[in-house]
Structure 1
Amino acid sequence: MLAYIWAEDLNHQIGYRGQLPWHLPADLAHFKRMTQGHPMIMGRKTFASLPGVLPGRPHYVLTRSANYAQSYADDQRVKIFHTKQELETFIGNDQRLNFIIGGASLFASFANQVDLLYVTKIAATFAGDVKMPQLPWSEFDLVWAKRGKMDQHNLYPYQFKLYCRKNSKLQLSSLEPAYNSAKTVILK
């Protein structure tokens, strides 16, 4: 089962010079809560942008570079794949939710296979050099949304949103409890 998780600004920017274009601690906490215990799939550049191997979740890195496999051969937390097919074969029978966290080429490559879209929409614009690829939005339904609280640490208006592919066999009740709370209101 595949999910995307990302944050974007009003212009769909997702990166700038190998980093996030903004600092939004609430989004980082959301990312950690959602991905904890789940495999994360990423490209080499996204992996390089992390502060290190994040605890509590396997890292699956898709790269053409043969050197990466040697560099992480002894690290059980990191598995290197050289082709999309090799990665798909490996995760094929995995019943866990596998999060694709970037970059843009991976988001584009799996757009017709992903079941869930976890997106943080930031109501501001930033300098950026990487945009989120166009997704088949008509194939997804918004199932949950929540406005974030601005404060001295989270300086921009933002919303967390979850979309599910229409006709998906996914059981939404198995997701994060916050998404199933009766108090949660879908904001459109």
Structure 2
Amino acid sequence: MSELPSKPISLIVAMGTGRVIGNQGEIPWRLPADLAHFKKTTMGQPIVMGRKTWESIGRPLPGRRNIVLSRSEMSAEGVECFTSVDEVLESCSADEGEIFVIGGGEIYSLFLSLAQKVHLTEVEGDFQGDAFFPELPAGEWKEVSRVTRPADAKNPHICHFLLLERC
């Protein structure tokens, strides 16, 4: 699958220094502002996640079509499960809008070459992690927008909301 699919695909991710996105099945920070950004961006759209991300969330996210991509057959209430990227893309072909890939690291790697956009939250801080966002190939992405949000009582880390588009 070398060409970009006609259905727009976006990755949405929050990562700390060193590309950390998770640690022992959890997000290593608490940022309600980023969760609100995630909800606003993905609401009404299909979201694709791996089995580990699904297990860490533990329930379908409301207002979105929840899709789990796993190497092994599985079933769970409120989600659709597939074993290949092609199956996911075929199942989403009639959906309006774009497909949002929400993690984890392996799933991001599978969809990176197909994505047209990356909604990236850079979280300032060094965090322990065992899950990482893949390296974005140099020269393939351009920054379209950046909004910096200062830390506050509820959001203890400075974060930057970036939109990247494929060149």
Q: Same fold (TM over 0.5)?
A: yes
Tell me the alpha carbon deviations over residues 54-84 of structure 1, each in whole angstroms, 9 at most, x when there is no partner: 1100101011332x22x43xx4xx1111122
Runs of 4+ in 1 over 3 A off after TM superposition: 92-95
Q: 2:70 aligns with which of 60, 63, 68?
A: 63
Separation (CA, whole Å) in 2 of partners of 1:86 and 1:8: 28
Assess if the C-alpha contact under 8 Å between 1:111 and 1:136 holds in 2: no
What amino acid does structure 1 have at the position aligned with 2:59? G
Q: 1:3 aligns with which of 2, 10, 18?
A: 10
Per chain length, whose mean CA-contact separation is higher, i.e. which structure has more relative contact order (CA < 8 Å, sep 6+)? 2
Assess if the C-alpha contact under 8 Å between 2:119 and 2:164 holds in 1: yes
Secondary structure of the corresponding residue to residue 119 of structure 2: strand
Tell me the alpha carbon deviations over residues 6-41 of structure 1, each in whole angstroms, 9 at most, x when there is no partner: 101111100000010111111011111101111100
Assess if the C-alpha contact under 8 Å between 1:24 and 1:155 holds in 2: yes
Instruction: Confirm or deny that 1:48 pairs with 2:55.
Output: yes
Separation (CA, whole Å) in 1 of partners of 2:48 and 2:95: 13
Percent identity, aligned pairs only?
35
Q: 2:41 aligns with which of 3, 15, 34?
A: 34
TM-score, normalized by length of structure 1?
A: 0.81
Point out the structure with max Rg over C-alpha.
Answer: 1
Assess if the C-alpha contact under 8 Å between 1:142 and 1:161 holds in 2: yes
Q: Which runs of 5+ in 2 are unaligned?
A: 1-7
Separation (CA, whole Å) in 1 of partners of 2:15 and 2:145: 17
Q: Following TM superposition, by how much is the alpha carbon of 1:87 offset from its aligned partner in structure 2, in angstroms? A: 1.3
Instruction: Confirm or deny that 1:19 pairs with 2:20.
Output: no
Q: Following TM superposition, by how much is the alpha carbon of 1:42 offset from its aligned partner in structure 2, in angstroms? A: 0.5
Q: Which runs of 5+ in 1 are unaligned?
A: 167-188
Q: Which residue of 1 aligns with 2:137?
A: 136
Q: Which residue of 2 aligns with 1:158?
A: 159
Separation (CA, whole Å) in 1 of partners of 2:107 and 2:49: 7
Q: Which residue of 1 aligns with 2:5?
A: none
